[in-house]
Structure 1
Amino acid sequence: MKKIFIIFSVIVIQNGYSQDTISIKKNPVENHSEKIPLDVGELKIKLNSKGDQWIRFGISSQIWLRSIDNNPGTSVNGVPQEQTYDAGIRRMRLTIQSQLTPYYSVFLQMGINNQNFISGGGTGTGNNGAGKKAPFFFHDAYNELAIIPRNNFHTGEPNKNNLYLGAGLHSWNGVSRLTNASTTKMLAGDIPIFNFPSIEIADQFSRQLGVFIHGEFDRLNYRFSINKPFATNLKPVVGGPAVDNNQSGKLSYSGYAFYQFFNKETTVTSFLSGNNLSAKKVLNIGAGFYTSKDATQSQPSENTFKSHPANIFGADIYSEIPLGNKSKEMGLTLYSVYYNYNYGTNYLRISGLLNPGGPDPTFTGQRALEGAGNNRILMGTGNIWFSQAGFVIPKFSNILKIQPFFNYALKNMKALNQSGSYYDIGANFYLYGQNARIVAQYSSRPLYDITSKTIFDRKGEFLLSLQIVL
């Protein structure tokens, strides 16, 4: 990396895979002499005098600025570039949650994703070209019925068990905690993306259309769904890998459950936090799955096609441990997950977030299997082990709190001849709890040779992100 360019990111209220409620969080901030609680309120309208019918709104925006070491043979807007600086909208959201009766609620989330100066919108150079006017679409749109509510509607007392039933475009996903991740409570600058097994292939930004149940049985939190995957129809080459083709129209089935040993979490929406600054002692162990028949297709010989199921399994552990004197607000956050993916013969996904580059036709050097820009091996048939750790250092200021973190992913894909290590290292700087967070991060990715399928180089990316949740 020749230069370091800073990334600036702003997140307002709800974001992508949101926090576990839409209400805006309230955090106390201290001055040097006394505690002054700053109440940012919430965008909520009561629909009756009792207050059990309401509508709540949220808005979010996340802006990225980056410095990227491009893969060899990259062209950006027709110009060869080894390094690219860019700006983009990672996520923008409008959310609406309404409780129409004590038993019935509606959740809507809409917005855009991944728009930068050259991608995410239209193509060309006209009014709707070179990344301009990104499409605005629904992320979540589902209705939910309380079969057994969390709290008794008549007495207000909590129920030991609860059960909810819903339908629509939703993200009550299976496989892992990270597959249900909140992006307003991430430990690092972003989530690794391979946690979503059909992201933007058979789903809509990790969502599918279908029915779901979720709830708690004592300390066991669970969610299960039956969905209709979005249609895919890629054609495989003779003797090549399996590709996404679910033309037979089979359903998908998914589920995830985790046991809570210490403090319990409230899952009002599907999104699970990955970082609560170790405010409470948490230890959760979970497992989940995603399966869909005839999800991919290969062509072993000329005009002979073979369908393959997508079968994904995940198992994980999540822990937050307060350490030392409570007044020091010190603690450790740990997460580790194992994924086993099976999409068919040598299936491989390659992707790069807000990728600014394309192939340079004049390049004569060694190209990477990943292609151009910041593309990386995302996932495929094989295994991935991902772990992250964060440590909130002892309190030294009434305003600033610091949390260094480290991510590591080990990917062992059947289509490759060498396992690959991916890592992120950085620190969170909190100015207003989870509501105002600056993230400084460096990421490193391996590059694979097209012929040998082994690693021949590494590239990096720098990030500085500011998160605001009002």
Structure 2
Amino acid sequence: MKKLLIILSLIGIQYTYSQDSISVGKQIEKISPEKNPLDMGDLKIKLNSQGDQWIKFSISSQIWLRSTENNPGTNVNGISQDQTHDAGIRRMRLIVQSQLTPFYSVFLQMGINNQSFISGGGSGTGNNGAGKKPSFFFHDAYNELAIIPRNDFQTGKPNKNNLYMGVGLHSWNGVSRLSNASTTKMLAGDLPIFNFPTIEIADQFARQLGVFAHGEFDRLNYRFSINKPFATNIKPNVGGPAVDNNQSGKLSYSGYAFYQFFNKETTITSFLPGNNLAMKKVLNIGTGFYTNKDATQTQPSENVFESHPANIFGADIYSEIPLGDKNKEMGLVFYSVFYNYNYGPNYLRMSGLMNPGTPNPLFTGQKALEGAGNNRVLMGTGNIWFSQVGFVLPKFSKILKIQPFFNYALKDMKALNQNGSYYDIGANFYLYSQNAKIVAQYSSRPLYDINSKNIFDRKGEFLLSLQIVL
């Protein structure tokens, strides 16, 4: 880590910037982007004259400003509060990639997430108070070997098929495109989160430890992995729903593959974009899965425990279509996915991003099943259909580009008596392609009565997100 900090310091002190290149000691250059001529690319240090040994850096930051309608019976910092205004760091990341030989590479991603005035850090007050000093941790840390490279080692010519294998803490996930989503090329203000079926339960921020393989067979892009899920040991209540308990220690298996009808995508990293501003014609259809035996547990009767597998299936379609005059840079971005989740009887999970609230013990009104703050029904045993669409408006400025979008999720959970509709509506304002953008979004969520399991109210949230990627 000290060596990395030294390298970054030298870059900061010595670099001279131009539109096309940067130089620091050994040659550092801007990588020419494949899809969008406005994308800035990454900082890259060549380690040899041939250019097949290098180290590359990328930095990203997403800052949120919000106004949130809290669920009934919410305390914020011990005080009853119906609406909360806050600011926070949704994501702050540093990525380091290194190609040590033409066939061996290392990928590291570090950073923090979800820091607000009251969440993401310590507890209490003082130096280590609520929201302060969030943990800076590794999101990804894996080594990868090229079995069949994209380009032939000897001739440099592209191979029609390729295969890579790796091991470590990784995000080469199964289930869907959205389960492998890039967080710097999202269509909306954020991901729906239910796209990660074990998020922060049996994984570490959507990553598990294990081995993976990915590559292409002509137009079929694929990824598969075998992993050791992170340990869970929640004890179920007698006659209650399934809870996360994988104490038997079974391995998980996952995979995702998609067929590319038009332009092909390059998957050097695991992250698939959800939005390329429709610069090229894309149509992909995919399907995937995640399975883990004995992932959850119920207690049908006193001291009688029963284990259940987690079986998740997904099928999706992703399309980007340029429209009209090419010089206008108009286009449509569309994505739709169906998830079938089975975690065991009546499994249900709640979650709220950077949730500011805690339950008010003195509240006597109608209580929400979701709990306090901005909690919502995230996912559970049942089905979810999610779709999103965005339209890049005709070019009218050399500086600004606008893309309105709409998200919709329909959740059919076995533990609930009514289906729930969730939606987000907003617009992206691009100042330098996706390297610098502002997102304005309004979100609406239903609330379920704690007793009847039917919807009794809705709450909303306004979001202004500022994103920079280098």
Q: TM-score, normalised by structure 2?
A: 0.92
Query: What does 1:223-372 correspond to in 2, within 5 Å?
Result: 223-372=223-372
1:33 maps to none
Kindly tell me: are residues 60 and 104 of structure 1, through their superposed partners in 2, closer, same or farther at Cα, counting changes over 3 Å?
A: same
| Cα distance between partner residues in 2 of 1:25 and 1:339 | 36
- SS of 2:179's equivalent? helix
- In the alignment, the residues of structure 1 paired with residue 268 and residue 363 of structure 2 have an alpha-carbon distance, to the nearest angstrom, of 52
Q: What amino acid is the match of 2:191?
A: I
Is the partner of 1:130 in helix, strand or coil? coil
The answer to whether residue 75 in structure 2 is matched with residue 75 in structure 1 is yes
Structure 2 vs 1, CA of residues 215 and 168 (structure 1 numbering), >3 Å: closer, same or farther? same
Stretch of structure 1 that moved more, 131-140 or 222-231: 131-140
- Distance in 1, matches of 2:369 and 2:31, equals 44
| Residues 109 and 139, structure 1, Cα contact 8 Å, conserved in 2 | yes
Query: 1:432: which partner in 2?
Result: 432
* Residue 38 to residue 199, structure 1, CA distance change in 2 (3 Å): closer
- The code of the aligned residue for 2:190 comes to D
**C-alpha displacement at 1:44, in angstroms?**
1.7
- Note if 1:215 corresponds to 2:215: yes
SS at 2:405's partner residue?
Answer: strand
Q: Which residue does the alignment assign to 1:410? A: 410
The number of residue pairs the alignment matches comes to 440
In the superposition, relative to structure 1, how do residues 414 and 247 fare at CA in structure 2: closer, same or farther (>3 Å)?
Answer: same
Corresponding position of 1:95: 95
Partner of 2:401: 401
Deviation at 1:115, TM superposition (A): 1.1
Distance 1:324 1:40 in 2: 26
Higher RCO (CA < 8 A, seq sep 6+): 1
Asked if structure 1 preserves the Cα contact closer than 8 Å seen for 2:121 and 2:129, the reply is yes
Aligned pair 1:104/2:109, yes or no? no
Instruction: Report deviation, 1:165.
Output: 0.5
Alignment deviations for residues 371-416 of structure 1 (CA, whole Å, 9 cap, x no partner): 0000000000000000000011111222221111000000000000
CA distance in 1, matches of 2:229, 2:38: 44
The answer for the alignment partner of 2:194 in structure 1 is 194
CA contact (8 A) 2:61 2:469 kept: no
| Map of 1:183 onto structure 2 | 183
Question: Residue type of the partner of 2:408?
Answer: Y
Q: How far did residue 196 of structure 1 move?
A: 0.2
Alignment-mate amino acid for residue 317 of structure 2: I
- In structure 2, distance between residues paired with 1:177 and 1:190: 15
- Structure 2: how far apart are the matches of 1:83 and 1:294? 41
- Name the Cα RMSD after superposition: 1.5
Check whether the contact 1:25–1:435 (CA below 8 A) recurs between aligned residues. no
Is contact 1:238-1:301 (8 Å) kept?
yes
1: CA distance, partners of 2:227 / 2:458: 39
Q: Which residue of 2 aligns with 1:422?
A: 422
Task: Give the alignment of 1:35-184 within 5 angstroms.
Answer: 42-184=42-184
Residue of structure 1 in register with 2:462 after alignment: 462
Whether the 8 Å CA contact 1:26–1:38 is kept in 2: the answer is no
Conserved? CA contact 2:92–2:111, under 8 Å: yes
Change in Cα spacing, 1:218 to 1:404, as seen in structure 2 (3 Å) is same
Cα distance between partner residues in 2 of 1:255 and 1:146: 19
Q: 1:330 to 1:40 in 2, by over 3 A?
A: closer
Inter-partner Cα distance in structure 2 for 1:41 and 1:181: 18
Aligned twin of 1:453: 453
Helix, strand or coil at the partner of 2:443: strand
The DSSP-based 3-state class of the residue aligned with 1:95 is strand
Structure 1: tracts of 5 or more residues without a match: 1-22, 28-36
CA distance in 1, matches of 2:233, 2:463: 36
Matches of 1:298 and 1:338 in 2, distance apart? 27
AA matched with 2:204: Q
User: AA paired with 1:268?
Assistant: I
Structure 1's consecutive aligned runs of 4 or more residues displaced over 3 angstroms after TM superposition are 23-27, 37-42
Amino acid in the other structure paired with 1:157: K
Distance 1:41 1:200 in 2: 30
Is the CA contact 1:55–1:96 (under 8 Å) kept in the aligned structure 2? yes
The alpha carbon displacement at 1:357 in A equals 0.4
Identity %: 85
Could you say if the C-alpha distance between residues 86 and 447 of structure 1 is closer, same or farther in structure 2, counting changes exceeding 3 Å?
same
| 1:127 match: secondary structure | helix
Moved more, 154-163 or 431-440: 431-440
2:67–2:85 contact (8 Å) kept in structure 1: yes
Q: TM (normalized to structure 1)?
A: 0.92
Contact in 1 for aligned 2:312/2:342 (Cα 8 Å): yes
State the secondary structure of the residue aligned to 1:224.
strand
Partner AA of 1:425 in structure 2: I
Alpha-carbon contact 2:60-2:467 (below 8 Å) kept: no
- Per-residue CA deviations over 1:296-319 (Å, capped at 9, x if unaligned) read 000011111000000000000000
> Which residue does 2:18 correspond to in 1?
none
For the residues of structure 2 that align with 1:398 and 1:87, how far apart are their CA atoms? Answer: 30
Partner residue in 2 for 1:31: none
d(CA) in 1 for partners of 2:273, 2:132: 32
SS state of the match for residue 319, structure 1?
Answer: strand
Q: What is the match of residue 203 of structure 1?
A: 203
Q: Which string of whole-angstrom CA distances, capped at 9 and with x for unpartnered residues, describes residues 304-348 of structure 1?
A: 100000000000000001111111111111000000000000000
Paired with 1:73 and 1:67, the residues of 2 have a C-alpha distance of 17
Contact 1:286 1:316 in 2 (8 A): yes
Q: Deviations over 1:164-214 (max 9, x none)?
A: 000000000000000000011100000000000000000000000000000
Stretches of structure 2 that go unaligned for 5 or more consecutive residues are 1-28
Separation in 2, partners of 1:379, 1:214:
28
Q: Is the 8 A contact 1:248 1:294 kept in 2?
A: yes
| CA distance in structure 1 between the aligned counterparts of 2:41 and 2:374, rounded to whole angstroms | 40
CA distance in 1, matches of 2:264, 2:40: 26
Q: Counterpart in 2 of 1:376?
A: 376
**Counterpart amino acid of residue 100 in structure 1:** L
Distance 1:24 1:114 in 2: 30
Measure the CA separation in 1 of the matches of 2:155 and 2:66. 52
